[in-house]
Structures are given as C-alpha cells and as structure tokens.
C-alpha cells in the first residue's frame, strides 16, 4: 500500500479551486478549508508573545563573534576571532599627538591580553612563515607614550604582511598619513585586511576566495589591505597659524585597496584608490557612519576611471568595478585636494638611511649604511650628513666595554 504523503483532502490541496468548486457548493468548500486550518496557539498566562519567544531562544545566550569595539590608549579596533587578525583599526592623528620620543626598541610583539587565547595569534605563527608582522595602527603614530606604542605591538593589531610591502609602499602610505597633519588639523585613518576574490581564467572566469594561513593557529594572510583617510580642518576662526588659512572646514576623504605583495616606486598611490562605496561593498563595513550622508557620497566620477586603468595587471587579481551612478559629492576627494603623493625613491632611501644611522651602535655599521647609499647613486643631504657627524662623535666618546672594565 502506498502511503499518502499529502495528509489533506484534495480539495484543500487545490486551495478550494476548480476541483473543489466543481464537486461541492461554495459554502461546503469554505467549511472544508476552515476545518483544516491550524488551530490558534493559546498563549500562556503572562506570555508577551514574540518577545517571549526570543527570550526563550536566547535562554543560554547567542554565539559571540568577539567583534565588539575594543579601546586602547591611542587606537580602536574590531577583532576577527576566526582569522586571528583585526577587521579594522581606527586612529585619529593630529600634529600634537605625533610629538614624542618614545622608542620602539623597547617594545615586543605579544598576544593581546584582552583576546582569549583560543582566538589569538602567537609569535610562533609568524616564525619562518615568510610573512612579516604588519601594524595596522603604526608604531610611528604613537611616540607620545610608552603605553600607546606598546599596545600597537599587540597581535590584535597585526596582520601577516609581505615584507617588501610592509617596509616599502605601506610604510610610505603611513608616512603620508602623518604628513597630512601638517596641512590638516584632524586626520582619521581606518586600516584593515581583506580576502578578495580572484578570477581563474582556466576555470572560465569563475571567482574564488583563497588565502593562505600560517602557524598552528591558522592566522589568515590577507590578499589585500585597505586604508581609508578622512581629513577635516577646524573652523576658520580656530585655524592654527602653521596651517594654510585658506583651507575651509570641508571634509575630504579617500579610500585605497592595496594588494599584499611587493609594489615598486613606479606605482602611485592613486593607482589603488577606490570609491568609498566600493570598499564598503567588498569589506562589509560602513566607514564613518556618523558623517552626514551627503558627505559620504562616493566620488565615483574620477576614482573609478582611474582605478580601472590598471585592470590589465592580472597579478593583482581583484580590481574595482566602475559604478553606473555618478553623484557629485559634498565631501572632497582627498587626492584631488592634496595630491596623494608618496615619498619618492631618493627621498625615502635617505629617510631609511637616516633611521639606520641614528640607531647604529658602531662606526663600522654607520659606514656600511653610508656606503650602501652611495652604491645606489644617492648623495647624503644636509640632514643625513649632520646626523652622521653627530653620531660619529657620540660613538667616539663612548669608551669600549673592555676599557671600562680594565679601569676598575
């Protein structure tokens, strides 16, 4: 005997339609339909309906993502417990905040004590991985206090980053953000990691999201990094004399998506500029939600055109898609206002050599750094020359340890 998988009469299954109407009177059909309607659920005394249902479902709590906003001395972040990296890290930079002499040489990378060990990365994950520990809130933004700088070395603020990218292009981008404080009173920066899809030609253009993980904790290596910059001057009556008095208190912003790979000096920052809505779409984040809606309107008119000019670089994988909506924004495009020019090769090399010379502990090391500069065909500028001579004198005045020991 075949089981009847439809427990209701045929006239109900046809919703009292043609079959039911042809078989019985309209009144009888309505009676049949009512007969098979589910009985109303009687609420228990004191039952508040939907609210009670939700409370019962969550009687023992709901899954916790750990993505809540976490506050530190000079940065704020949201953490991704599954990837063991930050979802985003936010900062507010000013000329005054960047002052200070705290040295990073006393800082050590370590797990964030606020992150449960089950979801935390460890230094061992990065060891021999081929990836550097890349700051999202840079140590260079936190020279005003030992605490704020030490907190940037928490692994909750770190992502696996290509070494050349970290020390080169991304470093220059961080320096550009700090340099903006010389022209704008307030600079807000939000940085983070992305895992974006890539198109496989041999698979017929199918998109896949694939990223490496490192260490026993499976720390996710991002395919791309992002940075959003918002600048704003105070009202004209509050302008500092060191800043351009002609600048108006109108916000300007720019968003960038940078591949996690080496990027040479032949590439400009604007090659990686995208509209804010494009970044929000791929990241799942809404940036600066308290900014007036009209000020957050993406500047798609020139940004999308500019970013798609490099679409033939297949090694970069993902490229932003042009938007069909062209809306004139109220907020200015930072790259149109300020140029978004990163340090050039010569200037950047002099800067790096200066840092090496300044931290050198021997005359031999200093001479090596200066020789390397000469090999690159770059002559030291006045600042580097004076720094070299000053450090040379300081090192010559330092008695060798064995001399001190013999004098005792």
On the 0-12 / 13-18 / 19+ scale of CB atoms within 10 A, 173 is buried
314 vs 117 pLDDT, higher one: 117
Dihedral of alpha carbons 44, 45, 46, 49, sign: positive
CA dihedral 150, 155, 160, 162 (to 10 degrees): 0
In this predicted model, what pLDDT tens digit does every residue of 372-394 receive, in sequence order?
A: 999 999 999 999 999 999 998 88
CA dist., res. 96 & res. 101, Å (int): 13
pTM: 0.77
Radius of gyration of the chain (CA): 30
Contact 162, 262 (CB under 8 A): yes
3-state DSSP call for residue 76? strand
Provide mean pLDDT across the span 330-350: 92
Instruction: Catalytic residue, from 75, 135, 185, 224: name it.
Output: 135
State the DSSP H helix or E strand holding residue 337, giving kind and residue range, or none if neither.
Answer: helix 334-337
In tens, the pLDDT along 36-74 reads 565 665 555 555 678 899 999 999 999 999 999 999 999
- Pairing type for strands 132-135 and 198-200 reads unpaired
CA distance 215 to 129: 7
Percent of the chain with pLDDT over 90: 62
How far, in Å, are 188, 189, 337 from residue 239 at the CA level? 18, 21, 18
Q: For 160-186, what is the mean pLDDT?
A: 97
Question: Which residue has better confidence, 203 or 362?
Answer: 362
Helix (H) or strand (E) holding 174: helix 169-179
Task: Judge whether 135 counts as a catalytic residue.
Answer: yes
């Amino acid at each position: 005997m075949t089981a009847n998988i439809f427990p209701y009469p045929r006239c109900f299954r046809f919703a009292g339609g043609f079959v039911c109407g042809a078989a019985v009177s309209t009144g009888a059909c309505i009676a049949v339909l009512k007969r098979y309607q589910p009985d109303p659920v009687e609420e228990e005394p004191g039952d508040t309906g939907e609210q009670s249902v939700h409370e019962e479902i969550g009687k023992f709590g709901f899954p916790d993502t750990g993505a809540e906003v976490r506050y530190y001395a000079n940065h704020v972040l949201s953490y991704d417990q599954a990837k063991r990296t930050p979802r985003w890290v936010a900062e507010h930079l000013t000329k005054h905040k960047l002052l200070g002499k705290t040295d990073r040489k006393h800082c050590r990378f370590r797990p964030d004590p606020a992150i449960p060990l089950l979801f935390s990365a460890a230094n061992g994950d990065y060891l021999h991985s081929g990836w550097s520990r890349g700051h999202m809130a840079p140590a260079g933004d936190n020279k005003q206090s030992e605490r704020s700088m030490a907190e940037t070395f928490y692994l909750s603020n770190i992502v696996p980053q290509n070494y050349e990218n970290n020390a080169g292009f991304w470093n220059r981008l961080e320096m550009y953000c700090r340099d903006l404080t010389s022209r704008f009173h307030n600079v807000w920066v939000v940085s983070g990691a992305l895992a974006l899809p890539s198109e496989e030609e041999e698979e017929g253009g199918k998109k896949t999201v694939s990223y490496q993980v490192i260490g026993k904790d499976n720390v996710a290596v991002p395919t791309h990094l992002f940075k959003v910059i918002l600048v704003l001057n105070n009202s004209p009556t509050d302008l500092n004399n060191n800043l351009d008095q002609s600048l108006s208190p109108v916000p300007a912003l720019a968003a960038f998506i940078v591949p996690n790979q080496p990027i040479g000096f032949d590439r400009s920052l604007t090659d990686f500029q995208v509209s804010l809505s494009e970044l929000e779409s791929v990241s799942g984040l809404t940036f600066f939600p308290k900014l007036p809606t009209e000020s957050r309107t993406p500047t798609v008119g020139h940004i999308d055109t500019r970013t798609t000019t490099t679409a033939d670089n297949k090694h970069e994988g993902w490229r932003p898609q042009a938007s069909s909506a062209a809306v004139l924004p109220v907020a200015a495009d930072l790259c149109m206002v300020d140029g978004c020019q990163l340090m050039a090769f010569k200037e950047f090399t002099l800067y790096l050599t200066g840092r090496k010379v300044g931290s050198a502990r021997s005359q031999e090391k200093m001479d090596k750094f200066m020789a390397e500069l000469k090999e690159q065909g770059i002559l030291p500028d006045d600042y580097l020359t004076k720094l070299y001579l000053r450090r040379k004198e300081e090192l010559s005045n330092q008695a060798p340890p064995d001399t001190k020991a013999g004098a005792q």
